[in-house]
Structure 1
Amino acid sequence: MRTQAGKLGKWVIGVLLILAGNNSISVWAARDSIAVYQGKIIDADSRLPIMYASIFVEGTNIGTVANAEGEFMLKVPLNNGGRIGFSHLGYKTIFIPRNEMKASGNVIALKPEIVSLQEIIVRVEDPELIIRGALANISKNYSRKPAMINGFYRETIQQNRRYVSVAEAVLEAYKSPYNNYFLNDKVRVLIGRKSQDVKKMDTVVVKFQGGPVLPFFIDIAKNPENIINESFFNQYTLKLTGQVSLDDIRCYVVEFKQRKDVNQPLYEGKFYIDVNNLAIAAAEFSVSEYGLPYATSTYIKKKPATMKVDILRANYYVKYNKTGDVWQLAYTRSELAFKCKWPKKLFSSNYIISTEMAVTDLDYNNIEKIKMAEAFKSSEIFSDRVEDFRNDDFWGDYNIIVPEESVLSAIKKLNRKLMRQQ
C-alpha cells in the first residue's frame, strides 16, 4: 500500500535535478466590455496587508485571490451588476457596490471576527466523528454535476532566494462530479508564458513535473484518499481546537498530527469544517517533522547519484467556495523547499518551488470534456509547455493573481536577460 504522502509524490509532485548541459492563443474578450478594479486588502486594526484574501462578484462564480502583499485586480463584465465581496479566514466578509469601487487605489479593510466562547455551540465533540462526517457528506455538500473551470496558475522556482523561473497560465479544466471518484479532472493550458534563467541554476537544472495538475490533485474533497483513509485514524492524533469564521461560515478547527511512532512521510495540519453541514471549507497541511526524514524519495524523482538532497518543508493549502448549497474548489497553494549538496563542496544550494491556482470562473452549463491529447499530464514540465514573456497586456480580460513585487521584479530582470540573449 502506498503512503498518503507517497501518492502526492508519485503521481504529481516530481522534481527532476538534471545536470546542466543536458503559440499563444488570442484572448477572448474586448477590453471595453469589462470593468477593472485594483487595490489592496488590509487588516482594519493593524493596517497590515491580508495575504491571499478572496475577491469575488456576489451571486456569480467570478473571482480571484489577493497576493501575499494583499494586492488584487478583478476584471468584471460590464453587464454584471453584482457587488464585490472580500473575505478571508478569521475576518468578517464585506460587500461593496460596484459604483463605490474605483478603478485603482481601493483600500479594503477587513475586521477580524473573533468567535467568543459564549457563541460556540459544539455539536460534535469527537474530532474523529467530525472528520468521518465530513467524508460521509462529500456527495451531498459538493457539486454532483460536472463543471468547466477557468483558473489562473503561477509556478515559481527560487535558488538561494533568487527567482530563476516564473511561469504562468490561464487554465481550463473539466471538473468531474464530486460524487464520482472514478471520473478524473482534466486540465489544459489556454495561454501561458514564462521567464527563466537556466544558466543561474549552478550545475543542475530544476524541473517540476505536473504543475497545473497539482491543484486538482490536492482537492481533498475530490481525492480524500490522498490524506484521509482508514489508516489516517491510526497514524494521526486529532484535536478539536475551536471554531473560526471563514466566508461568514462557522467552522470547526480540527488539528491532525502524525504520530511519532509512524516512520513515513505523513502530515500535520488543520481542517476547517462547516459546523452546520460538515463540509470541508479549507485545509492546510505540511509534511510533518517526523515525516521529513523520509520524504526525499517521495518528492525527488531524478538526481545525480552523488548529490545529497534533503526536503526542508512541503506545505499545501486548499480552499472551497460555497454558492447556494454547493461547495466547489476555489484556491490552492503549495510550497516545496529542499537543499542540494555535492560531496566535497563547501556550500549547498537551497531551492523553493511554489505554485498557486485561483479559480476565476465556473460554468455548469457549457460542458466540454477535454481530450486526452490536450490534457496536461502529471509527467509533463509546465515551463517547457509555455513561451517566453513578450507582451505586457498578455492576459487581456482574463482574471489573474497580481504578482508580488519580488516576483514582478524577478520577471523584469529575467526578461532583460532574455532580450540580451536574442
Structure 2
Amino acid sequence: MKLAVIGTGYVGLVSGVCFALKDNKVICVDMAEEKIEKLKRAESPIYEPGIEELIEQNLREERLEFTSDLGEAVRRSDIIILAVGTPSLPNGEANLQYIEQAAADVGAAMNGYKIIMTKSTVPVGTNEKIREVVARHTRHAFDIVSAPEFLREGSAISDTLHPDRIIIGIDNPELRETMVELHQDFTDNIYVTDIRSAEMIKYASNAFLATKISFINEIANICEKVGADVTNVAVGMGMDKRIGSSFLQAGIGYGGSCFPKDTNALIQIAGNVDYEFKLLKSVVEVNTDQRYMIISKLRESLGQLNGIHVGIWGLSFKPNTDDIREAPSLEIVETLVKEGAFVKVHDPIAMDKFREQFDHEHIQWCSTAEEAALGCDAVCLLTDWDHYRQVDLRMLGSVLRKPVLIDGRNVFSEQQIAESGLEYYSVGRPRMSGLNGLSPSVAGAV
C-alpha cells in the first residue's frame, strides 16, 4: 500500500520503517529540513537500536522516502498516518495543537479519497475533531481510523514487528478488510472496534501498567518495614496467571514520554466528564514520591547532603534509549545540587540530552562509570543499563571514598553484594552489606 507518515519521532519513524519492511511504499514527512536531510543519509534523529540499519535497507530497496513536502506525500499516498506529538499541557491535558494542524494540512493537500489513520496518542473524541478539521479543508471523501501504538522505547522495532496485539478503531465497516490487510503481516491478533473505544484502550492500557508499577513500589516500601524481600514477593505474585510477572519490578518509578503523560491525560479526561479518578491520582502521587527514595537513603547512609560527592549511574528513564523525559534522574540530580552536593554523572547514551536540559557548576560529566564513582561518598544507580551490571563491585569499593551503593533498580544480587565490600541500599529488600560477608538467602523454586 502507499502510505504517508506525518511526523518522524519515535512513533512515526519506527512505524514508517516497519511498514516499509512489509513491502509498503512509505513516505515519511517532517517539517524540519535538517532532520529530513539526515534521514535521507540513514542518520536517525532518535536513538533506537537497529533503526539506522533498517532505514538504510529500506532506502536502498526504494520502499522508503523522506520529505518535508507534506502536500506531495499526501497526494501520492492512499493512507495518511498521523504520528505527531501530543505533549502535556500544564494542566495535564494532551496538547492537540500539532495534530489539528497536521489534519488541516492533510485536508488542504488531498487530491482524492484518503484513509486518515491516527497513531498519535489522543484523548477520547479527538478523531472526531480530526474529522471536522479535515472536512473544513477538503471537498474530497475520506475516512478516519484510530490505530494506537504500543511500542516501548529501546525495543520499539521489535514491538512494532511482533506486537502482542493491534487495535483498530473504525466507524465505517467497509474499512475493516483494508485495515486488517495492512496490519496482518505483523500479527493475526487484531481487534477491530469503534474509534472511541480504540482511543480509550491506549490510555487504559498505559494507566493499568503504571498502576502495577506504583503498586509494587508501595509493596516494596512495606517490605522494607516488615523485613520481607520485594523481589521474592514479586516472583510469587507473578506466578499467578491472573497477575503475571511483567511490570512488577520495584524501583524508583516510571518515567518517559508515555506513562506520565497518559496517566495525567486520563485523569483530565475523567475530570472533563465529572469523574474523579482517585486510583490513578494515587498512582501518580506514589510514582512522584518514589524517586525521592534515593534522597532519603543517601541521608540515611551519609547523614547530610551538603558537601557530599555523589556518583550517578544512569540518566535516561530506562535502558536502551537516550530519552530523559520525566526521568527520575532530573529531580534527583536537581535536589542534590540544591542541597549543596557535588554530583558526578554517567550514562552510556543520554548525557548530551541531560546536559541540554540541566547543567550546573556542581555537576561533573564523566566518560565512564568508574570515573563517576571515583572519590565519591556514594554511588546511586538510577537506570538499569547492562553496562552497570558488568561493573566489578570490588573495584567500585576501592575507588569510593565511602563504600556506599544505592541501587534504585535492584540490579545486584545478594551474592554479589556479599562479596563486594559495599554498604548496599536497594528498594524493598532487607538491608544487605558486603562489609561482613553476609550469606545469600535461600529463596528459589522447589
- State if a TM-score over 0.5 links the two structures: no
Q: Say which one has the larger Rg.
A: 2
TM-score range, shorter chain: under 0.3
- Tell me which protein shows more strand as a share of its residues: 1
TM (norm. structure 2) is 0.24
TM (norm. structure 1) is 0.24
